[in-house]
Amino acid sequence: MTPENYVDRVSFELHDLPWRTRRDLVSELRTHLDELPAGTDLAARLGPPEQYAADLRAAAGLERGHGPIAFLRARRPRNLVITLVLLAVIGLAIGAVVWIETYQPLAFAGGGIEPAGAVEAPAGDSASLVYRQGRPFQLGTTVQNTGRFTVRVTGVPESAALPVFARLMMSGPLENFGVHPPYTRFHPFDLKPGESRLLFFEGIGAKCRWKGVTSVESALAVRFSFLWRTATAYIPLSQPLAIRIPYGTSCR
């Protein structure tokens, strides 16, 4: 066994010790081996490296270290790098999860559909509609993906306050924010970055359970999924729509 082999094996046995301590002990052992007469049988003179390390540890009162602190103290430069890399990876992973969990790229695209008969308020910031049983009804908005990644639009739950029998409809991708038929029944679709579509409910006035009340619709709750996450984005209508159900309305 060469002196360098011997030193390496002793050093390995002391790997749990603080970096500086191990460096000092190994340096001292190197010096000692240099002092020994040339050709000395190291194993015969000093014993096996493992035994040398154990005797050294026992005589110096150096207990074996365990756990993460011992790991960090043991091979400081290398362990520091490993720890920093691990922390960076964990930090990036946490950051990515947080980002994905809060990613919401859907926005109002600048247009929509209102029911026939809706009257715009003088201020021009809302509209109102008097409910009538069986009257054709359309209400929707345009949705744009303003993000950098494609998301999947999975549906729009119908507002419980909406007094209509309606089904959800959709357009194809909109060009220059124009709204172009034909429309189709809604089915889940991928909305690419920058792409817009019109989503709207189409049906007839019905289900007027609360007579004499006015309900206001101001947004569509658009469900979408991105990677593992499903979320809801509330996309505003062009303007809020107040639907008034007069007393004496015939309902079915």
Partner 1 sequence: MEQAQLLKGVLELAVLAVIARGETYGYEILSTLEDAGLDGVGDASVYGTLRRLEHAGHLTSRLAASDSGPARKYYSVTPTGTEQLRAGTKSWTDINSAFQKLVQP
Interface with partner 1 (CB under 8 A) = 24-25, 27-32, 34-36, 45-47, 51-62
Considering the complex, state which of residue 25 and residue 243 has its C-beta at the smaller distance from partner 1.
25
Where residue 16 falls (left for φ over 0; alpha for ψ -120 to 50; beta otherwise) is: alpha
Query: Residue 66 CB, nearest distance to partner 1 (Å)?
Result: 20
Query: Residue 12 CB, nearest distance to partner 1 (Å)?
Result: 15
Query: Residue 47 CB, nearest distance to partner 1 (Å)?
Result: 7
Residues 6+ apart with CB under 8 A from 30: 3, 7
Considering the complex, state which of residue 23 and residue 223 has its C-beta at the smaller distance from partner 1.
23
Considering the complex, state which of residue 34 and residue 175 has its C-beta at the smaller distance from partner 1.
34
Residues 6+ apart with CB under 8 A from 1: 42, 43
Considering the complex, state which of residue 55 and residue 101 has its C-beta at the smaller distance from partner 1.
55
Considering the complex, state which of residue 28 and residue 120 has its C-beta at the smaller distance from partner 1.
28
- Look at residues 222, 205, 204, 208 and name the one whose alpha carbon lies nearest to residue 140: 222
Query: Residue 35 CB, nearest distance to partner 1 (Å)?
Result: 4
Query: Residue 46 CB, nearest distance to partner 1 (Å)?
Result: 5
Residues 6+ apart with CB under 8 A from 72: 79, 80, 83
Considering the complex, state which of residue 51 and residue 230 has its C-beta at the smaller distance from partner 1.
51
Query: Residue 63 CB, nearest distance to partner 1 (Å)?
Result: 12
User: What counts of helices (H) and strands (E) characterise the chain?
Assistant: 6, 11
Interhelix angle 19-35/3-13, rounded to 10 degrees, is 150
Tokens of 156: 């729009």
- 3-class DSSP state for residue 191? strand
